[in-house]
Structure 1
């Protein structure tokens, strides 16, 4: 079975939150999380094997991120337990920059985390959540206006109403059309 993700390409924290859809949890098992990590290639440190520990770590960050983002969107203080969970994930795999030289790219300074794979994953995801929560645009994060959709997005245009216009937007337009042309 191939897992498809309805919305990717948003800030990493929103992509993580959007793995829980109206249909269910898309990363509830190693195969689903592995597929999502493949979609996020280049945004996270490659893990290798994805197991139950990585699924639990990603799920814990996502569950802490939701109430924190909901509060931040309203300009309110996030729940203390959500912040504690996110800070715990960050502290379990602290990051330091490591300099490297290659002939192709020259000198680079990449983040390095000396921790177990599930702790690295949780820390990177928690860092993405922290970046979103402290971004001044956090109050602009929107929920899709489609009735049966729970996805979040950061609109590039102030008039954007749907997570994916070709999917949710089209369903809304078709529903409005049929409502207008319905026979009495």
Structure 2
């Protein structure tokens, strides 16, 4: 499996950080962000916009960097930098959330919505997802993949989990181990 295919299925904040594989950046361009956003559409509250601007991309990438640094500290049990926490708080404030009330024909429903440009709204949702992970004691169970050429993060739901993905890195490590065993023999 290629590093250019996003790793998904972890908490949303980790999936965002994992858009920075060892080689390259999956959010290098607005199209890259649109592709990732589309993959995550079922977990995000906003529809993927037709046009994503450079400013939208910059807002999301800035949140990603603050999440990555804060997670790096928190998963080791260390205090995150105040600047990273403040930047995540500011990203949430930049696109305020409201519970928008709507009459659906038979009842009042409430849908959580955010104000602002698409990038600011997405950055705010992602900062909110980061706040949930960072404030949760499970953050200390976030690990980096043990494959030599991988930098992906994952939430270890099982104490013996060592790789970001059995298909992505686990198989590569097992195949390499098998090759070296049989080459030496």
Q: CA deviation at 1:146?
A: 0.5
Runs of 4+ in 1 over 4 A off after TM superposition: none
Alpha-carbon offset, residue 38 of structure 1: 0.3
Corresponding residue for residue 89 of structure 1: 91
Aligned to 2:59: 57
Partners of 1:80 and 1:122 in 2: CA distance: 18
Q: Equivalents in 1 of 2:118, 2:86: separation in Å?
A: 21
Q: What is the Cα deviation at residue 22 of structure 1? A: 0.8
Paired positions, count: 181
Q: CA RMSD in A?
A: 1.9
Alpha-carbon shift at residue 107 of structure 1 (Å) = 4.5
**Does the Cα contact within 8 Å between 1:5 and 1:36 map onto a contact in 2?**
no
- Cα distance in 2 for residues equivalent to 1:52 and 1:167: 31
Distance 2:73 2:4 in 1: 29
Map of 2:30 onto structure 1: 30
1:73 corresponds to = 75
Q: How big is the shift at 1:73?
A: 0.4
| Structure 1 residues without counterparts, runs of 5 or longer | none
> Is 2:41–2:48's contact at 8 Å kept on the other side of the alignment?
no
Distance apart, 1:155 and its partner CA:
2.4
TM-score (norm: length of structure 1): 0.91
- Residue by residue, what CA displacement relative to the aligned partner does 1:102-159 show, whole Å, maximum 9, x if unpaired? 369x543221212222221111111011111011211011111110011111123222
What SS class does the counterpart of residue 175 from structure 1 fall into?
Answer: helix
For the structure 1 residues 9 and 107, does the alpha-carbon distance in structure 2 shift closer, same or farther, using more than 3 Å as the test? farther
Alpha-carbon separation, structure 1, partners of 2:184 and 2:9: 41
**Mapped partners of 1:180, 1:4: distance in 2:** 29
Identify unmatched segments of 5+ residues in structure 2.
none
- CA distance in 2 between counterparts of 1:167 and 1:113 reads 35
Q: Quick one: structure 1 residues 167 and 114, their matched pair in 2 at CA, closer, same or farther if it must change by over 3 Å?
A: closer
